[in-house]
Structure 1
Amino acid sequence: MSAALPLFLPEQHVTFIHTADWQLGMTRHFLRGDAQARYTAARQEAIGRIGRLADAHHAEFVLVCGDVFEDRQVSSRVIRRSLDHLRQVPCPVYLLPGNHDPMDAASIYNSKVFTDNKPDHVRVLDTPGPVEVRPGVSVIAAPWTSKVPLSDLVAQQLDRLAPSDDIRILAGHGRVDVFAPQSADLSLIDVDQLERAVAAGLIDYVALGDRHSTTQIGDSGRIWYSGAQEVTNYDHREAKPGQVLVVELSRAESTSDAAPTQSVTVTPHRVGEWAFRTIEHDVNGSEDITELRRRLDAVDNKSQTVVQLALRGSVTITERSALDTMVEEFTDRFAAVTWWELRHDLVIRPDGNDFAHLQLTGFIGDAADELSTAAGGDGENAIAAQEALALLFRLAGGTA
């Protein structure tokens, strides 16, 4: 009597790290002094943290889905230091060219400094199509070969796929159509087609780059943007930056006509160390200024945090002087303090008591009176007069 055949063949399993949008060499105009150098270093040092995460979870490889470098003009220093960090990653690393670093004639991946220093375990996914990671596991690459593709590069790869017993991971980069429903951009990624391919078992996971905040697409649990490894924008724009995804996939094919069993586990892990915070606050007196100080004091890791302020309300010149002094203090304590001009609307309401104790006479006193009158009006001239009054108050020795 023959033994019964098993219902399912032995299971295939793989664990890997999904990350994207490293944009190594990125600068931010609001960072001054050593802050920009520290931010640049943090973006590179995150590679080491990703490597340690891969080691801790026994990941077989790291997949970087586009925009590894900020652009082709990054310095040789950035390239060499980035490759030094990649050299410490204990498993293969696959780099997909994206819109910032496309695989075109002037690609950074063809530069001598990159090719001469690239570690052997780092592979650029420079050709569209399947790449075997090991028997039974493949990455389907959809690299950008120009900065302006004229079609959905991911769809091109899906159209070429036939059923397979392999675990297949599709690596793509770009915007999905559900986030730009009215756009005529021909390169938008068709989410419905992705969902159909996943449902049909053609693809086990879709790893995307371009969106800097960790985002699941659709309901299958198999289509994800990993987000950038370090924050790039303020928290009202990027909800979940500084993360990478540990992805675990398994598949067992049936010996009958039954569908294969598949499982997926996607776990975000924070590797970023910086934060870009937006703080909106109503200020209409000294108590509100005190509360703003409390909020700023409560922010952790100040040397690696950028704060964007949007203050609304009206203050006296004395209160404005106290506010300016406080902002100067926190500018020294934070990596940077900036203003969100679109939402910032703080005006000065002139108060006769502001200058009374200074006993200003002569042309300075006359200037204070004229500015006070102008500051009570409307429009740009009134705003300029308010700013001038605040400066005059401080120069004249006014205190909060």
Structure 2
Amino acid sequence: MTHFLHTADWQIGRQYGQFETDDAAMLAEARFDVVARIAALAAERAVDAVLVAGDVFDTQGVSDRSIRRLFAAMTAYAGPWVMIAGNHDAALADSVWSRAMQLGCIPANVHIPLRTGVVDLPQASMAVLAAPLTQRHTYDDVTQAFDSLESAPGRVRVGLAHGSVAGRLPDNVDATNPIAPDRAARARLDYLALGDWHGCLSIDERTWYAGTPEQDRFRGNEPGHVLDVRIAAPGAMPQVERVAVGRYRWSAWTEAVSLPTDAQALAGRMAALRSEDVLRLDVQGHVNMETWEALQRAVDQAAAQVRALLPDLSGLRLEPDDADLAELRASGYVGEVAAQLQAMQGDTAQAAVAGEALRLLLRFQRESVAPGAAK
């Protein structure tokens, strides 16, 4: 029985510029944390090896400290690691990998092949046919070499590559770094471990994308896993188990609000969010002032309880109801200004400014007529 973990797309050093500084720092830190969890899982399950299918680093320019921290995070598992370069960290002449070697921080149990070839792991009865990328983009199938690579008799043959399986990935047209969909069969592979697609995806029974172990974008394609793979003997069908290891859950909500009950329902959903949630919220529709303020309170409360929240209320139009207009004394000058601002919300270029001005006008007028307000 050969038993290993398949993971990919760690993207160490990734930046999250769309978030607040504190949130971005925590999301970046989570990428180191999940590597430590993978190492602990490998030790706990006593696997024969851990295979990392490219994009270990997000850029070639990660700091020396990040390189050292990455290898330090792997120390819980003392067995063999095999990791290859992907398109983000291609094995160029001067690369993040050459820096790691110069720093002397790569442990002896970590194999980093910089050219296509076979990494033989006799204790695991496994031969890893590795195809690291040596440039960011190529239109040649680097796994074609697997067809002619030989391995020692009795070894389970496992391919390790980074790229796009032709015609099998969503949103993938004329992709670079192509991989033939039948490569496992052509190269007599018992399993083909792939990276590049950030979701967990089975191409066929022997060909899998592990996906990124820590979700990093608003796409519901089953990220946040590693794959536990067991192969009884050469030629046997692999048994693949998805193991959840990610911490944060990224969601994107697009909501239409027109009634107070719509806002109440949305507020209830946001109240159920927890510290592991990262939410992008796009709200559209039209509401009165009371509903808009209630919704804003719900957004503010959610922002305090989730890891990160990116709200966009620019598509939410304020339409004063009779009570709002009564507060504005709609028959006077203030009412005329309110009517103009309300109309301006229909102009895309002016909608955001007009909506904010109308909300401020309503709030100011409400406060000026409140009992005890200054005369």
Structures share fold, TM-score greater than 0.5 = yes
Counterpart of 1:6? none
Judge conservation of contact 2:194–2:208 (CA < 8 Å) in 1: yes
Distance 1:149 1:106, change over 3 A: same
Partner of 2:213: 229
Please give the alpha-carbon distance, in whole angstroms, between the structure 2 residues aligned to 1:51 and 1:322.
45
Distance 1:295 1:170 in 2: 43
State which drifts further: 155-164 or 359-368: 359-368
Match of 2:354 in 1: 385
Q: Supply the distance in 2 between the matched residues of 1:194 and 1:336 (Cα, whole angstroms).
A: 40
Task: Give the number of the structure with larger relative contact order, counting CA–CA contacts within 8 Å between residues 6 or more apart.
Answer: 1
How many angstroms apart in 2 are the aligned matches of 1:159 and 1:393? 75
Given the alignment of the two structures, is residue 271 of structure 1 paired with residue 245 of structure 2, yes or no? yes
Decide whether the 8 Å contact of 1:24 with 1:82 is kept in 2: yes
Which sits farther off after the overlay, 37-46 or 172-181?
Answer: 172-181
Q: Say yes or no: does 1:103 pair with 2:91.
A: yes
| Separation of aligned partners in 2, 1:104 and 1:192 | 28
Alignment of 1:1-400 (within 5 A): 13-111=1-99, 115-134=103-122, 136-161=125-150, 164-179=153-168, 183-185=173-175, 187-197=177-187, 202-218=188-204, 221-234=205-218, 237-251=219-233, 262-299=236-273, 302-339=274-311, 345-357=315-327, 367-375=337-345, 377-382=346-351, 384-394=353-363
Matched residue, 1:257: none
> Structure 1 residues 329 and 113 mapped into 2: Cα distance closer, same or farther (>3 Å)?
farther
| Mapped contact 1:152–1:186 kept (Cα < 8 A) | no
TM-score in terms of structure 1 length: 0.83
Question: Aligned partners of 1:176, 1:68: CA distance in 2, in Å?
Answer: 19
2:372: which partner in 1? none
Q: Secondary structure at the match of 2:182?
A: helix
Post-superposition offset of 1:222 = 1.1
SS in 2 for 1:230: coil
Deviation at residue 322 of structure 1 after TM alignment: 2.2
Label 1:263 to 1:381 Cα distance change in 2 as closer, same or farther (>3 A).
Answer: closer
User: Is the contact made by 2:228 and 2:242 (CA closer than 8 Å) also made in structure 1?
Assistant: yes
- The structural deviation recorded for 1:62 is 0.8
Q: State the alpha-carbon separation in 2 of the partners of residues 180 and 322 from structure 1.
A: 42
CA-based RMSD of the aligned residues comes to: 2.8
Identify which range, 167-176 or 182-191, moves more after superposition.
Answer: 182-191
Instruction: Write the letter of the residue equivalent to 1:325.
Output: R
**Letter paired with 2:114:** D
Instruction: Supply the AA of the counterpart residue of 1:313.
Output: G
Give the deviation of 1:380 after TM superposition.
3.1
1:339-364 CA deviation, whole Å, 9 max, x = no partner? 479xx843222334325336699986
Q: Which amino acid aligns with 1:247?
A: V
What do the CA deviations read for 1:245-266 (whole angstroms, capped 9, x no partner)?
Answer: 11111226xxxxxxxx513211
CA distance in 2, matches of 1:162, 1:54: 25
What amino acid is aligned across from residue 156 of structure 2 in structure 1?
A: I
Aligned to 1:178, what secondary structure does the other structure show?
coil
8 Å Cα contact 1:24/1:43 also seen in 2: yes
CA distance in 2 between counterparts of 1:127 and 1:208 reads 16
